[in-house]
Amino acid sequence: MPLEDRFRIGGVNSLRGYNENELPPYGGLAVIQGNVEARIPIVGPFGLEAFADFGNVWPRASHIKARRLPSGVRGRAL
Percentage with pLDDT > 70 across the chain? 86
- From the list 50, 18, 46, 54, the residue with the least C-alpha distance to 37 is 50
pLDDT tens, residue by residue, 25-52: 889 999 999 999 999 999 999 999 999 9
- From the list 1, 67, 69, the residue with the least C-alpha distance to 33 is 69
How far is residue 29's CA from residue 33's CA, in Å, rounded to a whole number? 13
Q: Give the residue extent of every domain in the chain.
A: 3-67
Q: Give the confidence band of 76 by pLDDT, cuts at 50, 70, 90.
A: very low
